[in-house]
């Protein structure tokens, strides 16, 4: 898909459009990343599991909440080590 341009002005306009699209895409990625981070905050996940299972008031609910906390702490520590490398 090649475009033919008849002037430098057309090229400049096309470059401006492409630059704006790139900026919009970058901002969209940043927004999606931040939304994903917010959705996956460990406390929120733990609270969600605790609320769902604590209504039963069983040992199972406590065990699931405890294990999910440990799993999330493990994941967080792996991320820290990966970022340090």
- Mapped onto helix, strand or coil, the DSSP state of residue 68 is helix
Report the chain (85 residues): mean pLDDT per 10 consecutive residues. 86 94 92 75 60 56 76 80 63
Q: Is the dihedral of CA 53, 60, 47, 28 positive or negative?
A: negative
* CA proximity to 80, closest of 66, 72, 47, 30: 72
* CA proximity to 14, closest of 23, 1, 3: 3
Give residue 54's pLDDT: 47
Give residue 53's pLDDT: 47
pTM for this predicted structure: 0.45
């Amino acid at each position: 898909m090649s475009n033919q341009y008849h002037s430098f002005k057309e090229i400049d306009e096309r470059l401006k459009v492409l630059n704006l699209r790139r900026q919009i895409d970058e901002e969209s990625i940043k927004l999606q990343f931040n939304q994903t981070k917010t959705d996956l905050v460990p406390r929120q996940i733990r609270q969600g599991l605790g609320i769902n299972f604590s209504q039963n008031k069983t040992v199972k609910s406590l065990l699931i909440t405890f294990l999910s906390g440990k799993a999330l702490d493990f994941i967080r520590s792996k991320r820290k080590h990966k970022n340090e490398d």
